[in-house]
Chain A
Amino acid sequence: MKHAVGYNADARLRWTEWLPWVAALAVFFLLPDYLSLGARVLTYILFALSLDLILGYVGIITLGHAAFFGLGAYVTGILSAKLGLTDPMMQMLVSALAAGLLGLATGAVILRTHGLTQLMLTLAIAALCLEIANKATPLTGGADGLSGVVIAPILGLFKFDLYGKTAYLWCLGVLFVSWWLVRRLIYSPFGASLAGIRENSIRMHAIGAPVYARQLLVYTLSATLAGVAGALLTQTSQFVGLNVLGFEPSGELLVMLILGGVGRLYGAFVGPLVFLVAQDYLAKQFPEYWYFGIGLLLVIVVLFARGGILGISDAVIARLRGMA
């Protein structure tokens, strides 16, 4: 599967890159009843973005990315429900730090292995986190989940309301900052070296690039962003349950990302949007078929449409250009 579309030295913003943000703001004004779904989409876009960093740009397959997501979610929940720290910005900071630390620790271990071992370790670490969350009932609420999560108004002014308005804008803001950060990273010499590591790490070693250090840095950053996404989820739903950990969120996230297109900045935008909106509508009508459908979709995408939706649109655009 083609990963990132090569290194693009031109870091200027193309006009098309403003579209997602315009669309997001339009949704805020035009679809006020759908803001909680919207907040969820935004949260998962951030989560997918974090996964794309290691999957698409560094080329490490992980089945346990939910570990960082879940850690971020629980840290925010515990800070609020057990320690009384309710300021959303502080919560986000601590969650990001915690997830980053876990990323650093596990990355140091995982990046020294490869192939099946590496894959299995990502799974084992996520399973371990799930076990801990399940057992540590006084902290996490165990299987019942953590309730009593209170989020103070942002900057003391904007309360998280019933209609999800504040939540939506908060998610949008956090996503914007994260996106900007990631974009800066990708379109930089650092980003170029990442592409190099992904394409041919042996060569990179040969030219003296600090491969391991770079991979570790990106892994940690990816974990941090996933943790931020987890914190967002807790803040917008004011609850944390065990379902933020485990294989299912990791698996579904992979589907979302593949659907959108791996290794492209905006695949992480398109995939979760299409997936979650479709799920909201279709899973209601045909729940078992939905699950089958995701599996089938994955198989078809892998066999026939390896670039995901964006890959298809690329091909279509190229065709149109060729015809013009």
Chain B
Amino acid sequence: MHRAAGGGSFRLSRASPQLEAFLASLVSVAFHGIAYGMILYVISVGLSITMGLMGFTNLAHGVFAMAGGYILIVSLSRFGLPFPLALALAFVLVAAASVVLERLLYSRLYGAAELEQVLFTIGLIFMSVAVARLIFGTLQLPVVMPDYLKGQLSLFGRDFPAYRVFLIVFSATMIAALWFGIERTLWGAMVRAAVDNRAMAQSIGINTRRLFTVTFAIGSGLAGLGGALGADIVAIQPTYPFEQLVYFLIVVAVGGLGSLRGPFIAALLIGITDTACKYWLPEFGAFFIYVATIALLLWRPAGLLGKRA
């Protein structure tokens, strides 16, 4: 990873330094915004699918992301595992745990009133926050990145942190795989059918119980993976599920339940807007996101590309 000397090779021949600086900052904002948006999406897409598929309001989704983050941290620092293995573990372990949770607890509340699902998942959040604090304490846990991902990459005359480049590329791959899975595989077809009309899907013989479990596992595993990948951007701490809940819900609500593309657009929008605000209007920060969300939802209550309101 080398740094380009001086100002770099890309220059507009007659542009003023201010314009060049502005364009450069635009590129930075776009880059960081996309990185953040991708992470948000990877974490939240599972929520969109399970909520659209199972009709289950799972507010504890952030717990899976947090668990993935902790698994990554512990694998890297305590066990010294290689980074790819740690990421894979984050996915697999969280998915496995979610299967257990789903079979034992969540499945009792399918078809229950929304209030009960909300309360239940809030209870899960409280419990996991307490457990996280008990095990990991409240002090900062260092995320030990592998050396080949540290440093900067030089592209188009500007420096970009290598890890974030990796993040964008990797997330894009995962997302592509997911979309392929939903669009082209049998499992994907069953999911789409069940999201569109659950009763009908059951009547043509789709085993919705098993479908739910598998999909829930994949969605939660993705959340764990997203949490692990994004541990750099969204710090892993015991109160993670509380603090990030709003953002996941915004992505899903704005993007539209049960949709894949909608939350993607929503997540990118949020990521870029949030980063842009931090860069140019830091006093307003999160403020703008909430106002924008409220405005957007008033305009399109079902979300941008939602199938269900």
Contact = CB atoms under 8 A, between A and B. Distances in A.
A–B touching in complex (CB under 8 Å): yes
B115 A61 contact: yes
Contact of B287 (A120, A135, A288): A135
Interface in A288-320: 288-289, 291-292, 294-299, 301-303, 306
A303 B108 contact: yes
A296 B120 CA distance: 9
A211 interface: no
Judged by DSSP, the binding face of B is: helix
Interface residues of A, number: 44
A323 interface: no
B133 A288 contact: yes
Contacts of A123: 245-246, 249
A101 to B, nearest CB: 17
Interface residues on B, range: 35 or more
A5 to B, nearest CB: 16
Interface string A83-121: 000000000000000000000000001001111110111
A292 B126 contact: yes
B290 A127 contact: yes
Given A124-B294, A128-B291, A302 B120 contact: yes
A1 interface: yes
A144 to B, nearest CB: 18
A258 interface: yes
Given A123-B249, A124-B293, A125-B294, A299 B105 contact: yes
A301 B109 CA distance: 13
Nearest to A290: B130
A214 to B, nearest CB: 20
Contact of B57 (A114, A116, A255, A306): A116
Contact of A254 (B122, B133, B293, B298): B122
Given A109-B298, A131-B290, A135-B283, A119 B118 contact: yes
Contacts of A294: 123, 126
B305 interface: no
A251 interface: yes
Contact of B297 (A55, A113, A132, A262): A113
Contacts of A117: 253, 297, 301-303, 309
Contacts of B287: 128, 131-132, 135
A184 B255 CA distance: 43
Interface string B267-284: 000000000000000010
Interface of B: 51, 57, 105, 108-109, 112-116, 118-120, 122-131, 133-134, 242, 245-246, 249-250, 252-253, 257, 283, 285-287, 290-291, 293-294, 297-298, 301-303, 308-309
30 contacts: A55-B115, A61-B114, A112-B298, A112-B301, A113-B297, A113-B301, A115-B308, A115-B309, A116-B249, A116-B252, A116-B257, A117-B301, A117-B302, A119-B114, A119-B118, A119-B249, A120-B246, A123-B246, A124-B250, A128-B294, A131-B290, A248-B242, A254-B122, A288-B133, A292-B126, A292-B127, A292-B134, A295-B122, A302-B116, A302-B120
Interface of A: 1, 55, 59, 61, 63, 109, 112-117, 119-121, 123-125, 127-128, 131-132, 135, 247-248, 251, 254-255, 258, 262, 288-289, 291-292, 294-299, 301-303, 306
